[in-house]
């Protein structure tokens, strides 16, 4: 049997013919009586994982025959099972989407056994054929997007130090981190990635603190590098040599000596301020206790 060769024109002609035939003999199918329950571990407007689902849910609401029920800020405890069961019993949900890693086992596994006519889908690749057939997984190739992020970060960094704030060290998250690092290495082989785990999926304050902490570290590292380079320039100029002739160790020692001297000067100034403040407080205390003795009277 010979190989079938299809060029672009033949493909388009065949596709158009198929569409005409389908339009003549059939009708477009719409969902009817579908109620989807979606449970979020955090707020729907978190500018991240939960909001991505919420945006999709909004699009689903605009489709004919589909009803969407949502509940946000549901922890990875039996609270998620209660929320899903309520959607099934009170709202008539026949599809449940559990969007957080910890919802799966045992909560969604147990619910899928209890409600065999309801379809349960979980946002992580955890389902296996040994589990109920009405339970399943959905997941995107997030690591590929993180690889692209890493490529951009490797091109953008000036310190070669990159940061990644993650929730928990599970397989899919570690895959995202590794992909980010591999992407960065393609454009900047000298780059490295510092990872901070917050311990939970939705902790905006801790995430911000971790980001700020890593930013402060990067600024300090950049400042140290700038100080060493400045020291090399100064020492090279005074000796009449090139900055490359000054070793990093010698430059570091010069920077340390300068910083130590500055710190000693600041401590001395601080001690003088504390002494002056104490004298002021002592004077005020004497005035408060015995104003007549503190200010001698004079004859007019």
Is the pLDDT confidence value at 300 over 50? Answer: no
Q: What are the structural domain ranges in the chain? A: 31-137, 142-202
Q: For position 24, what pLDDT does the model report?
A: 45
Fold of 142-202: Rossmann fold (3.40.50)
- Its pTM stands at 0.59
Q: For position 165, what pLDDT does the model report?
A: 86
**Both tokens assigned to 225:** 């590098």
Spatial separation of the C-alpha atoms in residues 235 and 239, rounded to whole Å = 6
Quick one: three-class SS letters along the chain? CCCCCCCHHHHHHHHHHHHHHHHHHCCCCCCCCEEEEEECCCCCCCCCHHHHHHHHHHHHHCCCCEEEEEECCCCCCHHHHHHHHHHHHHHCCCEEEECCHHHHHHHHHHHHHHCCCCEEEECCCCCCCCCCCCEEECCCCHHHHHHHHHHHHHHHCCCCEEEEEECCCCHHHHHHHHHHHHHHHHHCCCCEEEEEECCCCCCHHHHHHHHHHHHHHHHHHHHHHHHHHHHHHHHHHHHCCCHHHCCHHHHHHHHHHHHHHHHHHHHHHHHHHHHHHHHHHHHHHHHHHCHHHHCCCCCC
Fold of 31-137: Rossmann fold (3.40.50)
Does the fold of domain 142-202 match that of domain 31-137? yes
pLDDT digits (tens, 9 = 90+) for 127-146: 999 999 999 999 988 999 99
pLDDT digits (tens, 9 = 90+) for 96-107: 999 999 999 999
């Amino acid at each position: 049997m010979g190989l079938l060769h299809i060029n672009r024109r033949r493909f388009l002609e065949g596709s158009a013919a198929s569409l005409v035939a389908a339009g003549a003999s059939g009708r477009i199918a719409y969902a009817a009586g579908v109620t989807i329950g979606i449970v979020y571990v955090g707020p729907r407007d978190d500018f991240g994982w939960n909001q991505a689902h919420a945006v999709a849910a909004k699009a689903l609401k605009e489709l004919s025959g589909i009803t969407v029920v949502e509940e946000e800020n549901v922890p990875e405890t039996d609270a998620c099972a209660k929320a899903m069961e309520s959607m099934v019993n009170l709202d008539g949900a026949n599809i449940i989407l559990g969007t957080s890693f910890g919802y799966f086992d045992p909560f969604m596994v147990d619910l899928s056994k209890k409600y065999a006519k309801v379809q349960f889908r979980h946002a992580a690749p955890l389902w296996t054929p040994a589990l109920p057939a009405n339970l399943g997984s959905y997941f995107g190739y997030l690591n590929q997007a993180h690889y692209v992020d890493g490529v951009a970060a490797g091109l953008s960094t000036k310190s070669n130090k990159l940061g990644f704030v993650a929730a928990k060290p599970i397989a899919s998250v570690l895959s995202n981190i590794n992909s980010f690092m591999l992407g960065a290495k393609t454009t900047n082989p000298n780059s490295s990635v510092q990872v901070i785990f917050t311990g939970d999926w939705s902790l905006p304050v801790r995430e911000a603190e971790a980001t700020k902490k890593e930013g402060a570290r990067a600024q300090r590292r950049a400042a140290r590098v700038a100080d060493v380079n400045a020291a090399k320039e100064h020492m090279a100029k005074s000796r009449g040599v090139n900055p490359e002739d000054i070793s990093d160790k010698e430059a570091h020692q010069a920077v340390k000596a300068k910083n130590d001297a500055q710190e000693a000067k600041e401590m001395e100034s601080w001690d003088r301020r504390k002494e002056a403040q104490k004298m002021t407080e002592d004077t005020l205390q004497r005035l408060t206790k015995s104003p007549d003795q503190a200010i001698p009277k004079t004859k007019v």
